[in-house]
Amino acid sequence: MKLAVFDCDGTLVDGQAHVCDTMEQAFIEAGLPAPDRNEVRRSVGLSLPVAIRRLAPDLDDALNAHLVQAYKQGFFARRQEGMIHEPLYDGIRELLHRLADSGWMLAVATGKSERGLQACLAQHGLTGLFSSLQTSDRHPSKPHTDMLDAALLEAGVVPEAAVMIGDTSFDIVMARDAGVRALGVAWGYHTPEELREAGAENIAERPADLEALL
């Protein structure tokens, strides 16, 4: 069996605007300066506590935890109000179906929470395509290999038969450390140069290019 493990934000869907807005709101409500939006964008893919620590390294643990909860509550409220729109990148839906039809098993390894990932996939009618869903609330943050190791175990696939597809250096380092092929995508939140430096085997310029690389 072959397993293709996808990151979500920046690889399958583009949700950066809502991430930046919600993070900004959480910081401001806590009486803190809003973080730089480009730095927020570049932290997408990390688990929430690690991303906030990266954005504001001098915060104590209590304030970090407060911001984590404020972000979660803010994002959930936006979703409940129908404000969250995380569009699939052009060609992703077709790519996923073609891979599944050709015998690939599919999985997701993401910095999203399980609730957030399930809502995102359900919005696009994609939940049934994936054999394994690994999220930040059940594993250490990328680039730790735990969520990728769990996806391999759940799918019953050895590392040599799997590939990790992601848009950040966190994805690439995780894959390389787990002994899994690493493919980068050029349409996400880190540059192709950063992905190559992290060890990406190749970079897809558009979703259709991934089939040939796989």
Region of 104 (left: φ > 0; alpha: ψ -120 to 50; beta: rest) is: beta
Domain boundary pick from 47, 65, 80: 80
* Residue 196 and residue 144 in one domain: yes
pLDDT score at 81 = 87
Return the CATH number at 41: 1.10.150.240
Instruction: State residue 31's pLDDT score.
Output: 95
**Which pLDDT score is estimated for 82?**
81
**Predicted pLDDT of residue 15:** 83
SS (H, E, C) 35-88: CCHHHHHHHECECHHHHHHHHCCCCCHHHHHHHHHHHHHHHHHHHHCCCCCCCE
- Dump pLDDT digits (tens) for 46-64: 999 999 999 999 999 999 9
Question: 75 and 90: one domain?
Answer: no
**108 and 193 co-located in one domain:** yes
pLDDT digits (tens, 9 = 90+) for 92-101: 999 999 999 9
Q: What is the pLDDT of residue 22?
A: 93
Residue 7 sits in the same domain as residue 104 = yes
Q: Of the candidates 49, 80, 111, which is a domain's last residue?
A: 80
Q: Tell me, what's the pLDDT at 84?
A: 78
- Are 58 and 137 found together in one domain? no
Alpha helices in the chain (DSSP H): 16-29, 37-43, 48-55, 61-80, 92-101, 114-123, 146-155, 169-177, 192-198, 207-213
DSSP state of 179: T
User: CB–CB of 68/52 below 8 Å?
Assistant: yes
pLDDT recorded at residue 161:
97
Query: Would the pTM count as exceeding 0.75?
Result: yes
Residues of the chain whose pLDDT is less than 70?
none
Q: Which domain holds residue 22?
A: 16-80
- Give the C-alpha separation, 170 to 168, whole Å: 5
CA 197 – CA 195 distance, rounded (Å) = 5
- Residues 111, 144: one domain? yes
Domain check: are 74 and 180 in the same one? no
Same domain, 26 and 123: no
91 and 123 part of one domain? yes
Task: Find the CATH number of the domain harbouring 103.
Answer: 3.40.50.1000
Q: How many domains does the chain have?
A: 2
Same domain, 152 and 133: yes
